[in-house]
Amino acid sequence: MPSVCFYFHVHQPVRLKRFSLFDIGREPGYFDEKKNAEILRKVAQKCYYPANNLILELIERFEGRFKVSYSVSGVFLDQAMDYEPKIIESFQRLANTGCVEFLSETYYHSLASLYSEEEFFEQVLDHMLLIARLFGQVPNVFRNTELVYFDYLAHLIKRFHFKAVLCEGWDAILGWRSPNFVYETQGFPVKLLLKNYRLSDDIAFRFSNKDWKGWPLTADKFANWVHSINGSGQVINLFMDYETFGEHQWENTGVFNFMRHLPAAILRHPDVDFVTVSEEADRYHPVGTLSMPYPVSWADTERDLSAWLGNEMQQATIKAVYALEEKVKDTRDLELLKTWRQLQTSDHFYYMCTKWFNDGDVHKYFNAYERPHDAYIYFTNVLVDFIDRVEDFLAGMKVANKQQEAPRIVFEAPVADLNIPVPGIDLPVPGVELPNAVARQLGQVGRAQ
């Protein structure tokens, strides 16, 4: 019988203000802190607190036989620490059970893997440091933003010696093969853990749909679907947004009650168990290799990048953002660097999506604006203002003759008191300029035996 692996992604973007043309050069801040705090607290009450309490209850009830994995964006964690720190405490209680694993991802939920190797590398390092500091774990499995995977990503993450990477089990890639097996990347060998999108989406998207032939979905019914895979798979990877519970599927749909009874229903079969992503990678040998020469994501019916890069507005703005990398890092200014990275968050470009057919309802639900063109206008205005700020800063440096050599300061975290080793990270990394501050931090962590 296969193992069951629950993986949840936790993320909330920092939303922009309605930044008008007349705000350029006048408005000091770009982000709607009031709105961001309001949304985070609302979702915390509907999802994060009740869902975390339920997961903790299940872990304790089944005495560690129930396990889950999380990927929590740095953008989310920053907001939680600023607006609702008790959320962090609730995740720390889960971490302390020994039945919860935290994955690595890009700190700012960005598409840096497509545009800048250096920036991708630095964001992953920053995120690993934050997870270690908050939850006492060093991630050894990677999940890219929006589950984007392509062959070259294996080359990028090999520098961290991750044992596995998550990706979508998409039919167009798998062909006759099943997502219920562990595979291996082409080239540099990293295990590929594939989402069973049919069973995952039964919970994440179809649970409350009364027109769906599987409605109403009960724990026993879903467990029978899991048990039916007996003999035809190693694992069943149920990957979904954590906001499925209470936010996308409201409490009155019965989704919490469904989850409360699901582990018992699945564990009725004596050969079934729950595993974290690392346990899955350790236990099962790959049955073959998979190649994805072009990026595959978990979004929309196409499973490609069109949700973020499908039109000229999206393509132009994201290219303009990454074109600023050298200048922003030359400023060696932490505030400008953080703002630039916040502008990389993929949600900004998702809001500009103009696909309104099969995926229209999904894009409308997640959009912070009435029209995608509004998202483009506000983002462009912010970008124009930010470019002016960067240029003015560099001009001031030149006038003050401050262009002497200095290390790039990318991340300063209080990690000296950590007692956690970071095994297997190559220092220095060939082909990538490792910021001195980060190198020192990883050196401190690695020596703290």
In a domain, 110, yes or no: no
Supply 295's token pair: 């990026």
> Residues 84, 118, 119, 146: which is the catalytic one?
146
In a domain, 337, yes or no: yes
Predicted local distance difference test score (pLDDT) of residue 361: 54
- CB-facing half-sphere around the CA of 269: CA atoms within 13 A: 19
Q: Which of 361, 376, 399 is the last residue of a domain?
A: 399
Within this chain, do residues 374 and 322 fall inside the same structural domain, yes or no? yes
- Could you tell me the CATH number of the domain that includes residue 285? 3.20.110.20
Torsion, Cα of 367, 372, 374, 377 (10° steps): 120
Within this chain, do residues 26 and 80 fall inside the same structural domain, yes or no? yes
Q: Which of 290, 324, 340 is the last residue of a domain?
A: 290
In a domain, 322, yes or no: yes
Within this chain, do residues 265 and 391 fall inside the same structural domain, yes or no? no
What's the rounded Cα separation, in Å, for the pair 348 and 367? 9
Within this chain, do residues 216 and 331 fall inside the same structural domain, yes or no? no
In a domain, 222, yes or no: yes
In a domain, 408, yes or no: no
Within this chain, do residues 282 and 342 fall inside the same structural domain, yes or no? no
Output the tens digit of pLDDT for each of the chain's 449 residues: 689 999 999 999 999 999 998 899 887 899 999 999 999 999 999 999 999 999 999 999 999 999 999 999 999 999 999 999 999 999 999 999 999 999 999 999 999 999 999 999 999 999 999 999 999 999 999 999 999 999 999 989 988 999 999 999 999 999 999 999 999 998 788 999 999 999 999 999 999 999 999 999 999 999 999 999 877 899 999 999 999 999 999 999 999 999 999 999 999 988 899 999 999 999 999 999 999 999 999 888 888 999 999 999 999 999 999 999 999 999 999 999 999 999 999 999 999 998 863 454 554 555 678 889 999 999 999 999 999 999 999 999 887 754 455 555 444 433 333 333 333 334 333 333 433 433 444 443 333 32
What's the rounded Cα separation, in Å, for the pair 93 and 305? 36
Predicted local distance difference test score (pLDDT) of residue 316: 96
Asked if 30 and 292 touch (Cβ cutoff 8 Å), the reply is: no
Range of the domain at 379: 306-399
- DSSP symbol at 110: B
- What is the edge-to-edge ordering of all strands in the sheet holding 68-72? 100-102, 68-72, 3-10, 235-241
Omega before 216 within 30 of 0, i.e. cis: yes
Asked if 194 and 179 touch (Cβ cutoff 8 Å), the reply is: yes
Within this chain, do residues 325 and 232 fall inside the same structural domain, yes or no? no
What share of residues in the chain are helix, strand, coil (percent, to 5)? 50, 10, 40
Phi, psi of 136 (to 5 degrees): 70, 25
Asked if 71 and 105 touch (Cβ cutoff 8 Å), the reply is: yes
In a domain, 148, yes or no: yes
pTM of the model as a whole: 0.87
Residue 57 falls in the annotated catalytic set: no
Q: How many domains does the chain have?
A: 2
Within this chain, do residues 162 and 23 fall inside the same structural domain, yes or no? yes
Based on C-alpha coordinates, what's the Rg of the chain? 22
Within this chain, do residues 77 and 33 fall inside the same structural domain, yes or no? yes
Within this chain, do residues 218 and 316 fall inside the same structural domain, yes or no? no
- DSSP symbol at 15: P
In a domain, 122, yes or no: no
Within this chain, do residues 266 and 166 fall inside the same structural domain, yes or no? yes
Q: Which of 290, 314, 333 is the last residue of a domain?
A: 290
In a domain, 111, yes or no: no
